[in-house]
Structure 1
Amino acid sequence: MDSKTKNDLDLRSEFELHSLEEWKQAVIDGLRGADFDKVMRTKTYEGITLKPIYTREDLQGKPWLESTAGQAPYLRGSNADGFTGQSWIVAQRQDEPDAAELNSILLHELQRGLGAANIKINPDTLKIATETTDARGLRLHSLEDLSKALEDVELRAIPIMMLGNRSMILLQSMLYAWAEENEMPLDQLTGAVACDPFLDEKPDFDTLYKMQVAGKKHSPLLKTILLDSYKYEAMGASATEELAYFISAAHKILGELIQRGAKIDDIAPSFVLKLSLGSNFFMEIAKIRAARMLWAELIKTYGGNEESRKIHIHAATSSFNKSRYDVWVNMLRTTTESFAGVVGMVDSMEISAFDSTMKPADEFAARIARNQQLILDEESHFSKVIDPAGGCWYIESLVAELCDLSWKKMQAIETEGGFEKFTDSGKLHEVVKELARKRIDMVNSRRDVKVGVNMFANPQDTLEIAKAEAPAKKVAEVEGGIDLSELKAHKDDAVKLFDTLIKAWQQGATLRELAKALDLTIQLREYPCLRVVQEVEALRQAIEALPQKPVIHLLNMGKVLDFKARADFSSAFFQMSGFELINPAGYDTCEAAIRAASESKAKAVCICSTDALYEELVPVLCEGLKKLESAPIIILAGYPKDKVEAYKEAGVDIFIHIRANAYETNKEIINKMGVEL
């Protein structure tokens, strides 16, 4: 290289430029005859086929690429200064049922980096149930309960978040009553006390409208309308469904509220979107950006102004991909998920405790989850750069495809009668159930790897699932003897209704009294919360619970190079389900292998070697093993297509290979051992 100054350095002149076609040809040459599209392109659950490389040509004709942070359509975030002015809100969710204990936890966390009072409301409260269960979440029956929970919590400095169904109208008014008693102006309340009408079996848009009207008058900075897209991902939905359903739900809610007299620029700022953060790092970044674009486009069609096209995105790490075995891996999963959330420029975020699949978070688990966010901010300095993903051809291409696919799904839902009909008919559950089944099957067959579960499982790992804290019991609510006749008189006047509710709370009314006075009956819609590894883990747990752990003896035949690959594969295959393995250094002769199998008394053996050696080994081994007093189940590692029938005839019972469904195969093995699970 010629001697040049740093400023004169021109890499283009020093290195030969190559075209995309030349790169592709080099890859094809390296594939040695394998199909380029099959090897180098990846299909996702979202319906997107990923290319191995992206260029600026993939983004031709995308006008939104010229926008910057704080400009419509806001894919780069709502604020022009990104996180440099203010970081995302560390909003770890608190789910302690007891109000006094929750208060102690909140005060402790707020001194250690927590930035919001994100309180999970107990399902018993949301349902206004007559019995309490062991469910997690704050139980609120009266203003006294909320006062205990928020004692010394300075809501002038931090936002509050309570998300739920139509019963949130009571909690919204309860919060107003608390604020008045603590001499806090209602217009200083920030955060979200918000209702997703589709959490109820029958959406109640009248109640939602009253919440929004009261919120506009009393607490304009407190969001009241929830778009909970997290629940769809927890059922097994992909990013495409999560986005399509949130925008379809938003379209329905906007239409209903406008029909009742609301103005688009009054109601749009009242929305908060809750998104999940899953394992597919780049897809999750793109999903967040796509969500902002979809919202901006929807509000634009309603004639909303620039400010209304912004939406607060609250993100929470996924529950669908979390494991019970090797729970420490969950800590790594939530790290990449929260990383994606920050790069995607979420407004607030919660990270689940690494062992949340097993038990409520203790102080250690809560501290780790909280500190993951603090490290991203304070040590990794993501608050020092605006939109770090901007200009990435791959991510921007994903954004475009997600927007296109999700918008088309939304249009299809509208064509079929709209989102309410789509949910009421069961079609939503049907679509997501089918996708969840596909995702679970991919884990069961080990085509999708879940570290510590279906690959690289720790044989010494055991489960310690926390037992239910307390049995169900009747709710002890003392009737306050308060005249609530005014409530019925003001049921249709949101402002007067809330004034009356505030007074009733302050006079000692209970949740059930007020619900009864308002004829507020609750039936929550069922949204099953699944885990993609649940079937694999259930099988392993059942096998490990047997009085005597079943053993599989690996018959490693020949030299190490002959059997190691298949022995390693077989070990991972069986350990996924909790089988105990005998994995010897190897056998030189069939006689030695048969003798060892007899001495081990293992109920199953797995022959591991090469296809070439199998032709000689399999007939001899099968004949000898079948003659043993307790003949074992014979498994063969591999699937030599032209020999399968011959090997079955020789005595092979089961074949394990890369295309086999490991979950179903291991179930078959344990059943052949005489154990019905």
Structure 2
Amino acid sequence: MDDLNLASDFPQATREQWLERVEGVLKGADFRKKLVARTHDGIEIQPLYPKAEGSAPVAREQAGRWRVSQRIDHPEPAKANELALLDLEGGADCLNLILAGAPSARGFGVGVDNVEDLDRTLSGVMLDLIALKIETAPFMGRLVAEKVSALVKRRGLDPASLAIDFGLDPLGDIARTGQIVLPWTELSQRVANTVSTLQDQGFKGPMLRIDARAFHEAGAGEAQELAAALAVGVAYLRTLEAHGHSLESARDLLSFLLVADAGEFLSVAKLRAMRRLWARIEQACGLEPKPIRLHAETAWRMTTRRDPWVNMLRTTVAAFSAGIGGADGITVLPFTAALGLPDAFARRIARNTQLILLDESNLARVADPAAGAGGFEALTDALCEKAWALFQEIEREGGILESLKGDKLQARIAAVRAQREKAAATRKEPITGTSEFPNIGEAEVSVLFAAPNELSSPLWGGDGGGGVSDSLSGSGANTPTPTPPHKGEGKLTIAPLPSIRTAEPFERLRDRADAHFAKTGTRPRIFLANLGPIAAFTARSTFAKNFFEAGGIEAITNDGFSDQGKLRQAYLDSKAKLCCICSTDEIYENHAVETTETLRSSGSTLVYLAGRQGNHEDAWKGAGITTFIFAGCDTLKVLSQALDEACA
């Protein structure tokens, strides 16, 4: 049978023809407003891109499979070891050793007080066959490096044969904590000495990690994250060069860690842009570019406590994007990470998410799948241009440390964070399962120990019996962050970068509603006053139900009313303080006022209407309608006020 080549039978469509069809659909509406989106960095995202001509694929250090990395963060070394061995047997080939006090430990982390604890944690782990990434408490990297070195010596291993990323990141520590524990000249000298000591012992590195998570978790845009990473990387090159390392050797001591989230196109473009941008740095240093060591982790910022099963979808998209974008290794946060210490099931799902992408979807079989794709290439180019300009701005301010000390970088990130918060509050950027399509009757999700800030939650809890401190004898999860050495009385403080999850404001509302339920045995309620036939009110009734249940307020619905007496009785039977009128604009014109008067006279303290007020605002508010809810309104503000009344 001959191969069919249908494409040759049709003429190639042009962009002009496409635009002509689009204009017919838009019917005079502004093309840019309707179809052109913008990132929080101000980069345009077009609805259609032509094929990219002459693009070159990005290069990785080793083509093929990326490393499947798993977090080791149980506070007890023996239990951490058990989980690590399960991960390795299940297909992981890289371990992220998260130590107590590390920012990414989220209140947990392995308690390693000495080499024996480290040995127990890594018992049975063949360090010469896997990669090991280390994450420590702020400013504790040198002390941990000494323990790792001692363990390697104890086991008689050749340091040069090991793939250990020591993860020293003093600038990241400063950005996260807001503490400058020593003058930079002294701190950088200590870092350089640690690097030299490790090199003398035979370790190849990387030693220093450019970790962009601090900036991402603070709300930075993609270009801001890249610019900050460049600025940190350049600062480390300068530090190493100033202390006797050639630039050629210094760059080989660096690794990079970027965040991948559920925004597929931007995550792919961001990872690709990082490689291009650093190659430009190397060229500016007079070096022939080499592929960087680039690790990716799924975003803490996008994880949710409510309906956490949706986190599986988010992390799948993020891991896919990181793989397509050319990451050398990927860490998937377990879907229950925001709730507490993940159990074996959540860890297995995190691990298998990557294994399915690798072994069933075969994503690693193409070196750079995004090469030549118009959308990806255009976004990569745009990110490179924007990030380079932002990087130059940081450099003009004196470099990353001076920018942080002057609160300049923090202020720019805060401005973008405010945009994100507004987009979340108005549900312009909806959070599935939290701000959209919530389930107020969701069941508990199992974790080994509840997150420290969730221990008093009436809904979420662990299955570990007593509290974390009881079960762990006070070590690990409740252990304070270790005190940085050599703090001295002359330390400076700056504005620290916050670590924020986007869903937190909605989760706080749900917590308030749950607390009310725990105290009274009933949830805050709102009665949906559906008017007319089902076809008339269904759309807005469904909208209102999702709207209020995003704040934990149970929506009492019905089949609609045309009789005000029956409406009154149904409202009284619901025992709700609040009500929301739901129907069409036409029915509102004729019945909104009398319905409001009926509900007000029946005892409703707040009356909402699903829809915009249009020309009826004065009349409807005069009748007693309190608030209008619609797509784009400040959902958080409305729900907070509703809870104030419903829980009073």
- Per the normalisation by structure 1, the TM-score is 0.85
Of the three residues 97, 100, 123, the one matched with 1:122 is 100
Corresponding position of 1:141? 113
CA contact (8 A) 2:407 2:494 kept: no
Of the three residues 26, 40, 49, the one matched with 2:44 is 49
SS at match of 1:17: coil
1:25 paired with 2:3, answer no
Corresponding position of 2:91? 113
Corresponding position of 2:33? 38
1:566 paired with 2:540, answer yes
Of the three residues 441, 460, 463, the one matched with 1:464 is 460
Corresponding position of 1:104? 82
Of the three residues 551, 564, 573, the one matched with 1:590 is 564
Q: Identify the range of structure 1 (250-259 vs 517-526) with the bigger mean alpha-carbon deviation.
A: 517-526
Name the CA distance, whole Å, in 1 between partners of 2:627 and 2:140. Answer: 55
Query: 1:559-597, CA deviations, whole angstroms, 9 ceiling, x for partnerless residues?
Result: 222111111111111111111121101112233223322
- Residue 101 of structure 1: how far off its partner (Å): 2.2
Name the CA distance, whole Å, in 2 between partners of 1:194 and 1:118. Answer: 10
What letter matches 1:260 in structure 2? H
Name the CA distance, whole Å, in 2 between partners of 1:518 and 1:311. Answer: 36
Name the CA distance, whole Å, in 2 between partners of 1:642 and 1:556. Answer: 21
Corresponding position of 1:497? none
- Residue 674 of structure 1: how far off its partner (Å): 6.2
Query: 1:536-564, CA deviations, whole angstroms, 9 ceiling, x for partnerless residues?
Result: 11111201221232221111111222111
Corresponding position of 1:491? none
Name the CA distance, whole Å, in 1 between partners of 2:617 and 2:488. Answer: 70
1:556 paired with 2:507, answer no
What letter matches 2:162 in structure 1? L
Corresponding position of 1:233? 216
Summarize the Cα distance change of 1:352–1:10 in structure 2 as closer, same or farther, 3 Å threshold: closer
CA contact (8 A) 2:525 2:646 kept: no
Of the three residues 551, 555, 573, the one matched with 1:599 is 573
Summarize the Cα distance change of 1:621–1:303 in structure 2 as closer, same or farther, 3 Å threshold: same
SS at match of 1:254: helix
Name the CA distance, whole Å, in 2 between partners of 1:516 and 1:662. Answer: 47
Query: 1:346-400, CA deviations, whole angstroms, 9 ceiling, x for partnerless residues?
Result: 1111111101111111111111111111111111112322211111110010000
CA contact (8 A) 1:235 1:527 kept: yes
Corresponding position of 2:196? 213
CA contact (8 A) 2:613 2:628 kept: no
SS at match of 1:532: coil
Summarize the Cα distance change of 1:521–1:659 in structure 2 as closer, same or farther, 3 Å threshold: closer
Name the CA distance, whole Å, in 1 between partners of 2:222 and 2:484. Answer: 39
1:11 paired with 2:7, answer yes
Name the CA distance, whole Å, in 2 between partners of 1:527 and 1:618. Answer: 48
CA contact (8 A) 2:160 2:203 kept: yes
CA contact (8 A) 2:407 2:495 kept: no
Name the CA distance, whole Å, in 2 between partners of 1:436 and 1:134. Answer: 21
- Residue 170 of structure 1: how far off its partner (Å): 2.1
Q: Percent of counterpart pairs with the same letter?
A: 26
1:313 paired with 2:283, answer no
Corresponding position of 1:250? 233
What letter matches 2:295 in structure 1? H
What letter matches 1:396 in structure 2? E
- Residue 453 of structure 1: how far off its partner (Å): 0.6
CA contact (8 A) 2:468 2:474 kept: no
Q: What is the number of residues matched between the two proteins?
A: 610
- Residue 322 of structure 1: how far off its partner (Å): 0.8
Give runs of aligned pairs for residues 262-281 of structure 1, distance below 5 A. Answer: 262-281=245-264
CA contact (8 A) 1:633 1:653 kept: yes
CA contact (8 A) 1:166 1:207 kept: no
Corresponding position of 1:636? 609
CA RMSD of aligned residues (A): 2.9
Name the CA distance, whole Å, in 2 between partners of 1:521 and 1:210. Answer: 21
Summarize the Cα distance change of 1:631–1:91 in structure 2 as closer, same or farther, 3 Å threshold: closer
CA contact (8 A) 2:205 2:252 kept: no
Corresponding position of 1:448? 429
Give runs of aligned pairs for residues 61-460 of structure 1, distance below 5 A. Answer: 65-68=54-57, 75-79=58-62, 82-83=63-64, 87-123=65-101, 135-164=107-136, 165-198=138-171, 199-200=173-174, 201-202=179-180, 203=184, 204-306=187-289, 309-460=290-441
- Residue 231 of structure 1: how far off its partner (Å): 1.6
Corresponding position of 1:653? 626
SS at match of 1:223: coil
What letter matches 1:637 in structure 2? A
Name the CA distance, whole Å, in 2 between partners of 1:381 and 1:586. Answer: 52
Summarize the Cα distance change of 1:397–1:66 in structure 2 as closer, same or farther, 3 Å threshold: closer
Name the CA distance, whole Å, in 2 between partners of 1:422 and 1:596. Answer: 61
Name the CA distance, whole Å, in 2 between partners of 1:525 and 1:319. Answer: 21
Query: 1:48-97, CA deviations, whole angstroms, 9 ceiling, x for partnerless residues?
Result: 111110014xx57xxxx5434xxxxxx24334xx21xxx11111111012
Name the CA distance, whole Å, in 1 between partners of 2:364 and 2:581. Answer: 55
Q: Identify the range of structure 1 (557-566 vs 216-225) with the bigger mean alpha-carbon deviation.
A: 216-225
Q: Structure 2, unaligned stretches of length 5 or more?
A: 444-458, 477-481
What letter matches 1:193 in structure 2? F
